[in-house]
Amino acid sequence: MMRLLASLLGVLSLVTAMSALGARYLPISGHPTLILAAVAPYLSLAAPAAVLLLGLSRRWLLTVVALAVTTALVGVYAPRYQGPPAGEPHTFAAVDVRVLTANLGMGQADPPALVALARDNADIVAVQEMTQGAADGLSAGGVDAAFPYRVVVPAPQMSGIGIWSRYPIVSSGRIDGYALPMLGARIRIPGVIVDTTVLSVHLPAPWPQPIGLWLQDIALLADTLQEVGTAAGAGAVIVAGDFNATADMEPFQRLLKQGYGDAGADAGAGLARTYPGHANRPPLLGIDHVLVKNCSAATARTVTVPGADHRGLLTTLRVPVDMTAS
């Protein structure tokens, strides 16, 4: 009886683990596949359980399958916790640039707390869901003194967006065609030969509302990233914001195929869970990201943004002095 029970539980665990692995490759067409991809890291914990249960029940063929699935899942998730090799020599001269992205929760983030966080830890700040009240509060809190260069578009509810920088913004503009506004800027980082392109992005939430706008915009973002990367030439590109997508979602993985890296994963921040970000509620999903091209991530960590419903993502990026020399 115990062997039969272990066998049944083992098969159930194996199916769950295989679902977690397969979710990464399934096109997302509706809420069921979206939710499956979102919880895939948690479902993957069923894989070692399947190995144990099927081994105990002497289902040797299924045990081998469970081992293969477990190995594949370890190959997916382990690198996200490893980060750059310790002591690896740098093959190019680079400038360290600290980038913070923060969703302000429809302007509810506490301005003094966010200003203090940014002032002490960041060189470039990308914000989303910035209302006029939030913009005024940040300015009153001293953000403009710490970050004298800015391009901001405050708006009600979820539609405001902005970029603050310690370094000169030499050009900027809105990126049109999306459900929510996005911004792009060229930033002149001291010591870096080619100006760096920085985007602050915000994709519409795919849940609980219909998923269509999110699917449309994340597909369009792949085209935008390709165009921006081409226009940047040898310059670094930094894309920071609320993607409303986890790294396991197939449309998000398509973004990385445009030559970008996910700074959180590359720096070993694991799942970099940012939502929900309330202080009394542990975050479950990593939906805020910093994508990079022609530069690399040295460190990444999530940070509390008091008053907001997301945690912020703080990264240290190594921007090459001269990519044209490589």
pLDDT value at residue 45? 97
| In the predicted structure, residue 252 carries a pLDDT above the cut 90 | yes
Q: Please say whether the beta carbons of 279 and 304 come within 8 A.
A: yes
What's the pLDDT band for 277 if we cut at 50, 70, 90? confident
Q: CB neighbours of 218 closer than 8 A, spacing ≥ 6? A: 203, 243, 245, 251, 252, 254, 255
Furthest-apart CA atoms within the chain: distance in Å: 72
- Whole-number Å distance between alpha carbons of 158 and 161: 9
Q: What is the pLDDT of residue 278?
A: 76
The domain segmentation of the chain, as residue ranges, is: 2-77, 94-325
C-alpha–C-alpha distance, residues 122 and 164, integer Å: 10
- CB proximity list for 185: less than 8 A, separation 6 or greater: 151, 163, 165, 169, 171, 172, 173, 197, 198, 199
Q: 130 pLDDT exceeds 60?
A: yes
d(CA 262, CA 296): 9
Distance CA 98, CA 215 (A): 30
Fold of 94-325: Deoxyribonuclease I; Chain A (3.60.10)
Cβ-based neighbours of 322, under 8 Å, separated by 6 or more: 92, 93, 192, 193, 194, 234
CA 95 to CA 134: how far, in whole Å? 31
The tens digit of pLDDT for each residue in 9-35 reads: 999 999 999 999 999 999 999 999 999
Burial class of 176 by CB neighbour count within 10 A (0 to 12, 13 to 18, 19+): exposed
With cut-offs at 50, 70 and 90, classify the pLDDT of residue 7. confident
Which stretches within 39-110 are classed as H helix?
A: 40-43, 46-56, 60-77, 79-82
- Closest to 184 in 3D by CA, of 203, 167, 163, 166: 163
For 217-245, write each residue's pLDDT tens digit: 999 999 999 999 999 999 999 999 999 99
87 has a pLDDT exceeding 60? no
Average pLDDT over residues 102-107: 96
**Residues 85, 267: Cα–Cα separation, whole Å:** 10
